[in-house]
Amino acid sequence: MDKVADKLGIDVSEEEINGHIAQIALQRGQRPERMREQMERDGSLAQFKLEVRQNNCIAKLLETAKITEKKPDKKAKKARKTAKKSAKKTAEKPARAKKKQPKESS
């Protein structure tokens, strides 16, 4: 993902990181400055920056993706029909088994 982000020219500014930290801090009822200091101390800030960059990369990929519809090929269509038939036969087996069981006499 890092190479893709490089190729797309995606960088994360300190302002963006601070904004994300502020959102999380507010959700947790903490002060953003303290949360950032804690992240720096425990080493999670670097990982957090990578996660923000990855999220930005995914957002950019989804934004620029071109979605096209393609008709299914004959093999896929045949496979679906076979699967439906198998499922139907499997569902019918318990019903047939119940009919064949002799009734108990009292």
Total Cβ atoms within 10 A of residue 11: 10
Asked if residue 98 has pLDDT above 60, the reply is: no
For residue 92, the model assigns a pLDDT of 65
pLDDT tens string 13-29: 999 999 999 999 999 99
d(CA 101, CA 99): 6
Instruction: Quote the pLDDT of residue 39.
Output: 95
Q: Give pLDDT tens digits for 46-82.
A: 999 999 999 998 998 888 888 888 887 777 667 777 7
User: What confidence score (pLDDT) does residue 27 get?
Assistant: 96
Quick one: pLDDT band at residue 8, thresholds 50, 70, 90? confident
**pLDDT attached to residue 77:** 67
What tens digit of pLDDT does each residue of 29-47 get? 999 999 999 999 999 999 9
Name the residue with higher pLDDT: 45 or 9. Answer: 45
Q: Where in the chain are the domains?
A: 2-64
